[in-house]
Amino acid sequence: MDDTTYECIVVGGGAAGLSAALLLGRARRRTLVLDAGEQSNLPAHGIGGLLGHDGRPPAELYRIGGEELARYGVEVRRAVVTTGKDAGDAFELTLGDGEMVVAERVILATGMRYEPAPIPGAEERWGTSVFHCPFCHGWEVRDRPLGAFDEHRYELLRLWSDDVTLFDLDDVAELRGPGASLTHVVLEDGTAVPCEGLLVPFTLHQRTTLAADLGARFAPPTPITDDALELDPLGRTSVDRLYAAGDVGVDPPSIVTAIAAGMNAGRAVVVDLLGMGR
C-alpha cells in the first residue's frame, strides 16, 4: 500500500460510519471518513434509547465521536462523494471538488433519505413533532394529544398517552403549529384536531447512487424501501472489498443497530485485510 492509498474509506459520518471507523482506528488501520453532514437524525431534540447517551443531541454525539477517532489517527473530512469506481485492486472515489481518493476497501454508511407520508407541513416538522419511531420520540411527547394513521401505530402510541386520535390519511389537509412544533391536525372539512405529536408512515431511499455505481446488489423490496443493500451478517455487500452499515441495509432504522452494524463492518474489514475472511 502506498502513502496515497487508505486501507479503508468510510463514506458517512453518522452513527454507523463513526462506529466502523473507531474499530478500524483501534486496529491501527489507515482510515479516512468522508462526512457529508446529512445525518437523518440531526433535527431531533435528542437521541432516544441509546444507553449512556439518552437524550443527547445527535450533533453532540457525532462531535464526541470525531474526537474519539482523532485519538487513533483516523482522518475525518467534510466532503461529498459524487462518484465511485472499482479499479480492481482498489476503489477510486471522486469528491465534490474533483479530488480523487483511493482505498483498498470501502464501507458505505451514507444512510437513507427518510420520506414521511405526503402531508402538508410534515416535512418541516420531521424528526421533532412528526416522527416515525415511537420508541425514539414517544417519551418526549408523553401525556399530550397524539395522532397516528393505522391501528398498529395507534396502539403503540397509547403506551405514552391516553389521548390518541386515529386519522385517515386522505382526510388530512395540513399540519398546524409554530415552527417545528405541532398543535393541530387540520382535516379537509376544516376541523382542527389538537395534536402535538404525529406518528406517520414513511419510506426510505438511498441518499446517493454510490452503491449502484460500485455494483452493489440490492435486496428484495420491503414495505418501506425498494433499494436497501443486500448484506451478509458482517456488512459485506455482493461486491468484493465493499461493505455497508446502518440504514442502507434492510435492518430496522435505529441508531443502536447502526452502531452495532458499524462495528461489525469494521471488524469484517480488519479480518479481510489479514486474508482471514473472504
The one-digit pLDDT tens for each residue of the chain (278 residues) are 556 799 999 999 999 999 999 999 999 999 999 999 999 999 998 999 999 999 999 999 999 999 999 999 999 999 999 999 999 999 999 999 999 999 999 999 999 999 999 999 999 999 999 999 999 999 999 999 999 999 999 999 999 999 999 999 999 999 999 999 999 999 999 999 999 999 999 999 999 999 999 999 999 999 999 999 999 999 999 999 999 999 999 777 899 999 999 999 999 999 999 987 65
Question: Domain residue spans in the chain?
Answer: 5-114+202-273, 118-199
What's the CA gap between 268 and 159, in Å, rounded?
A: 39
DSSP per position, the chain: --TTEEEEEEE--SHHHHHHHHHHHHTT--EEEEE-S--TTTTSSS-SS-TTTTT--HHHHHHHHHHHHHHTT-EEEE--EEEEEE-SSSEEEEETTS-EEEEEEEEE---EEEEE-S-TTSGGGBTTTEES-HHHHTGGGTTS-EEESSHHHHHHHTTT-S-EEE--GGGEEEEE-STT---EEEETTS-EEE-SEEE--EEEEESSSHHHHTTPPBPPP-SS-S-PBP--TT-B-SSTTEEE-STTSSSPP-HHHHHHHHHHHHHHHHHHHTTS--
Identical topology for domains 5-114+202-273 and 118-199: yes
The answer to whether 244 touches 231, Cβ cutoff 8 Å, is: yes
CATH code assigned to 5-114+202-273? 3.50.50.60
- Amino acid 276: pLDDT: 76
The answer to whether 139 touches 197, Cβ cutoff 8 Å, is: no
Question: At which residue does the C-alpha cell 386515529 appear?
Answer: 166
Tell me the whole-structure pTM to 2 decimals: 0.94
3-state secondary structure 57-91: CHHHHHHHHHHHHHHCCCEEEECCEEEEEECCCCE
The answer to whether 60 touches 15, Cβ cutoff 8 Å, is: no
CATH code assigned to 118-199? 3.50.50.60
